[in-house]
Each structure stands twice: as C-alpha cells, then as structure tokens.
Amino acid sequence: MGEIKSTLELALERTKKISISEEEREKIKQKETLQRVNGLFHRYREGRLPLNEILKDIERMDEKTRALSKEILLSQWIDALSLNEEDERLLRGVELLKNREVDDVRETLHRLTIEYQREKEKVKQEVRTQSINALKRIGISGSGVEPKIEGSKLWEKELKELDHHYRVKLEDVKDQLRHL
C-alpha cells in the first residue's frame, strides 16, 4: 500500500524546483529584520523590555543584520521623540546605540518640552477666555458655565499653529541626535 503524504510534504515536493534569487532572499531577510526591530522598539517604549535585553538580542545577530537593526532602532527612537511625552527611555536607548552621552540634547529637549507645555497652557487659557466672552455676548454666563475647549475649532486652529511652530524646533533637536 502506498504512503499517504501530508499537505506540507506535497507542497514541499512541488516547490523543490523553485528557488528564489539572492536579491529576493535579501529582501525577505530585511523585512524579517524590520519586523523584529519594530517589536523590540515597541516593547522597549512600553517598558516591557529593558535595554540590556535589546542589546543581547542585537549582539546575537550577524554583523550585517546587527548594523541594520541598530540603524533602524536608532532612527525609530529618534523619530518617536515628542513634546507631549516623557522621552527619557528613548534618549537612554539613543545613548546606548550611539555609545555616547546626549546630555546637551537631553537638556535642549527638556527645555523645549517645558516651553511647549507652558505655551500650550497659555493658548488654552486664551481660547477659554475667548469662549467665555463669546458665550457672555449671547447671554450665557455664570459660575456654572465652563466651555469645552478641546474639540473647539478655535482650539484646534491655535493648537495646530503651535504644534507647527514647535515641530520645527523638535526636528532640529532630532537632527542633532542623528548627527552625533
């Protein structure tokens, strides 16, 4: 009686003669590396993976993959810097991969974040005052009146302008990190 083959065995027999080029193999490897590094990036950013584990994982890679992984991870950490979040974890990661301190850039980013948050709060108060005055003009006033600032068109417009102004400054800080 003949042997019954699994679907996998049949598929392997059919694809035995098909081979992929070196270029295709390299693209597949790059895609796998990108997926792996993306996982490392997100787990580290969320606090679920310490830096030393990332370093161990990277050190186990071959030289070419290691260099590509470091480059991708460094780029992702720098791109993820923002003025709305605490970025100390990302900066420690950048320091590790750059093998140098980034204290000057850290201080610049910290000052910029504080400046942005102050300016944002100031704009919020101005929009709040304008909204209260607009409500007063149509006869709505009192201690119970609290306008909803977030979501208003004026707030969205002012925040967009503020974000644009500070995004340019943040990009300068990111460029400093890239060129260390």
Residue 147, token pair as written in the block:
């306008």
CA dihedral 43, 45, 48, 49 (to 10 degrees): 70
Residue 100, token pair as written in the block:
């140098």
Residue 143: per-residue pLDDT? 84
Residue 1: per-residue pLDDT? 45
Residue 12: per-residue pLDDT? 67
Residue 140, token pair as written in the block:
């709505």
pTM: 0.78
The whole-angstrom separation of Cα 34 and Cα 73 is 9
Residue 44: per-residue pLDDT? 94
Residue 4: per-residue pLDDT? 66
Residue 146: per-residue pLDDT? 87
Query: Where is 71: in which H helix or E strand?
Result: helix 63-80
Residue 28: per-residue pLDDT? 82
Q: What is the pLDDT along the chain (180 residues), one digit of tens a residue?
A: 456 666 767 666 777 667 777 788 788 888 888 999 999 999 999 999 999 999 999 999 989 899 999 999 999 999 999 998 889 999 999 999 999 999 999 999 999 999 999 999 999 999 999 998 988 899 988 888 888 888 889 999 999 999 999 999 999 999 999 998
The whole-angstrom separation of Cα 86 and Cα 132 is 32
The whole-angstrom separation of Cα 80 and Cα 42 is 10
Residue 8: per-residue pLDDT? 64
Residue 76, token pair as written in the block:
């992702």
